[in-house]
Amino acid sequence: MAKKRKRLIGALLIAGLIIIVGTVTAMMYGADAADGSSDMPTFIVQRGPLTISIDVSGTIKAQDMEVIKNEVEGRTIIISLIEEGAHVEKGDVLAVLDSSDLEDQLLNQQIAVQSAETALVSATENLAVGENQAKADIELSELTLQFAKQDLQKYIDDEGEYQTELTDAKSQIAVKQEAAQQAKDRYEWSQKLFAEKYISETELKADELTWQKAELDVTLARNRLKLLQDFTYKRNLAQYESDVSQAEMALERTKRKASANVVQYKAELLAAEEKLKRQKMLLNKLEQNISKTTIKAPAGGMVVYATSNRGGGPRGNQEPLDVGQEVYERQELIHLPTSNKVKAEVKIHESSLEKVEVGLPVVVTVDSVKDRVFQGKVSKIALLPDATMAWLNPDLKVYLTEINLEGDGDGLRTGMSCRASIIVQEYADVTFAPVHSVVRVGNQPTVYVLEGGKMKPRSVEIGLDNNRMVHITKGLEEGEKVVLNPPLGDTETEDLQNRLQEIRQQGFPEGAVPSENRDSGAFPTGSGSRQRSNRMGEGSSPSQGGTPSGAERPQGFRPGSRGQDQDQGPGQGGAPTGEGRRFQGQRPSGMRPEGGTERSQRPAGTRERSQQPPSGTENPNP
């Protein structure tokens, strides 16, 4: 069902376009051709002075001022604030921020500092004890090694324990052998005496036993010597050598362990020192933050809230500065002008940026200061578009521009609204005509000249415009009459045909037409071709009877958007709105490209063009 409805809507729209094309063509070439002067307002081309300027709105600010920011970390609340507009002297209190949380943190931080100091003392003492213990352990290990080496040397020395034991063993053998020989000689003599019956058999047996015992003692002495040489010596030598090696390794371990312990104690001491330093730094920061909660004036001047100096926006946080408001770190709170010199801050649209440069003269008027005009010069142009405006509207690119006013700014106050007219060019004697009398036919600027009661197209060459009058460099002479409502039959028909072709090329087989084309007024409405007053009006969209895209004004200016002082003489340049520009190879902002569907936007500060022709025009049927 929805597809059928879309198909039906698309078919009806295409049929309507065809009918509109025929109707507009017939009416344009019928009614206008039949009577070219019927109810046709005209303008007599003039020659004289012409001022090309750019009009923008802005705000008055001080040239030299102290920007006072919230320097307290995190977020805090204003508990006291000086009244805006008050005059202060250096050192006066401007605002007081809530410091209760900071004071609680300060108390906890003081305790943390004391704990860190205690830890530092403990780490210092531990290092001293560790170094002493390490020295004692190393000395003990060195002494143990020394004793082990001495024991080894004492055992293997020529006059050492081993040689002494070896000599003793050998001497024992000699003694035992001598005793055995004596016991043997005695036994043999006892045998002789027993044979002659001089001694008894018992005595003989006793001598024999003594001899046998002496022989056993010799054998034992020899065995002891053999054990000493083959086993005891080797075992003791290995033991002493092992003791030396173990003592050396123990000394190495002790040294390494002592060094590691000392390093650890030093690391703990260093950590305690750093911790104490960190805790003191935090304590100092808290004390500074608490001191910064009382904001004092760095110089004398008049108090201006930062929110009063900041441009507004539907999505911007422009809540006025007041007691109880939460503020964040580095937020601008107060602007304190330090001199009487003022400047105007304006925002230049990117389409006019190429015409503005530093040093151009500027005429500034302030809404609240009547009958006074201030002179100034462009002093600074931002390199990048204003971020806030770009965030609010990504399609809008404006550049913050500063204009330094001459004099001391007597009577001006920060935050006043103003309107600046940047003088781009001043011509002393040139030919000019209204911008809405020029249309583009075949990509050529064209005017319709009234000759003998009939309109005749004529190609012209144009220069800069001030959004009311355009400089005619070639093609028109002073005194000629140009039609203010030129016929748009050719261009309207071409535009509608281009739109119909565009719809077909967008690939809607079911006859559906994109809703944005229907909603944006891409298809002209209305039944008459005499709605030229609306078609020529400033910022009008096609749905309001505006100029179709095929009949755009010459590239480089935007129709309408006239200044508030439009009743001034054209030779004076009127009150230009600053939208005039050269007709170069780029499409100005707010104009639809040929065959496009973009809405034209009315610049801020403009109003609907008056239906009355400007001064110097004729109306055949007043």
527: closest CA among 503, 549, 545, 515? 545
pLDDT score at 584:
37
Strand-pair partners of 457: 448
- Domain boundary residue among 305, 338, 371? 338
Percent of the chain with pLDDT over 70: 71
Residues 126 and 240 in one domain: yes
Residues 182 and 231 in one domain: yes
Contact 595, 499 (CB under 8 A): yes
Domain assignment present for 282 = yes
At residue 351 the predicted structure's pLDDT band, cuts being 50, 70 and 90, is confident
Contact 425, 464 (CB under 8 A): yes
Please work out, in degrees rounded to the nearest 5, the angle formed at the alpha carbon of residue 410 by the alpha carbons of 409 and 411.
Answer: 110
Residue 543 to residue 77: CA distance in whole angstroms: 51
Domain assignment present for 506 = no
Q: What is the pLDDT of residues 107-120, one digit of tens each?
A: 999 999 999 999 99
Contact 46, 620 (CB under 8 A): no
Residues 448 and 332 in one domain: no
546: closest CA among 395, 445, 439, 459? 439
Give Cα 542 distance to the centre of its chain.
42
Contact 88, 73 (CB under 8 A): no
Domain assignment present for 504 = no
Number of neighbouring beta carbons within 10 Å of residue 259: 12
Domain assignment present for 477 = yes
pTM, to two decimals:
0.50
- In this structure, the dihedral spanned by the alpha carbons of residues 231, 235, 237 and 238, taken in order and rounded to 10 degrees, is 140
CATH number at residue 458: 2.40.420.20
* Three-class SS state of 270: helix
Q: What is the mean pLDDT of the chain?
A: 77
pLDDT score at 175:
92
- For residue 260 the two structure tokens come to 């590691």
CA distance from start to end of the chain: 55
Give DSSP secondary structure letters for 385-435: --HHHHHH-TT--EEEEEEEESS--TT--TT-EEEEEEEEEEEEEEEEEEG
Residues 241 and 329 in one domain: no
Is residue 607 pLDDT above 70, yes or no? no
Residues 543 and 560 in one domain: yes
Residues 167 and 136 in one domain: yes
Residue 225 to residue 236: CA distance in whole angstroms: 15
The number of folded domains in the chain is 3
* Higher-scoring residue by pLDDT: 1, 411: 411
Contact 63, 404 (CB under 8 A): yes
* Higher-scoring residue by pLDDT: 417, 506: 417
Residue 501 to residue 441: CA distance in whole angstroms: 20
pLDDT score at 199:
87
Running DSSP on this structure, what letter comes out for residue 467? S
Give DSSP secondary structure letters for 520-553: TT-S---S-S-THHHHTSTT--GGGT---GGGPP
AA letter at 481 = K
Strand-pair partners of 470: 433, 465
Q: What is the pLDDT of residues 540-588, one digit of tens each?
A: 333 333 333 333 344 444 433 333 333 333 333 433 333 333 333 333 3
AA letter at 559 = P
At residue 34 the predicted structure's pLDDT band, cuts being 50, 70 and 90, is very low
Q: Which residues contact 155 (CB under 8 A, 6 or more apart)?
A: 161, 162, 236, 237, 240
AA letter at 404 = N
Residues 121 and 162 in one domain: yes
Residues 332 and 276 in one domain: no
- Domain boundary residue among 271, 292, 313? 292
CATH number at residue 281: 1.10.287
Please work out, in degrees rounded to the nearest 5, the angle formed at the alpha carbon of residue 590 by the alpha carbons of 587 and 591.
Answer: 50
Domain that residue 207 falls in: 103-292
Residues 233 and 328 in one domain: no
Residues 247 and 176 in one domain: yes
Contact 523, 17 (CB under 8 A): yes
- Domain boundary residue among 257, 292, 327? 292
Residues 288 and 304 in one domain: no
Mean pLDDT of 48-68: 90
Domain assignment present for 193 = yes
Q: Provide the H-helix boundaries in 28-99.
A: 33-34
| Residue 233 to residues 174, 226, 269, 320, 450, Cα–Cα distance (Å) | 21, 10, 53, 104, 143
Q: Which residues contact 100 (CB under 8 A, 6 or more apart)?
A: none
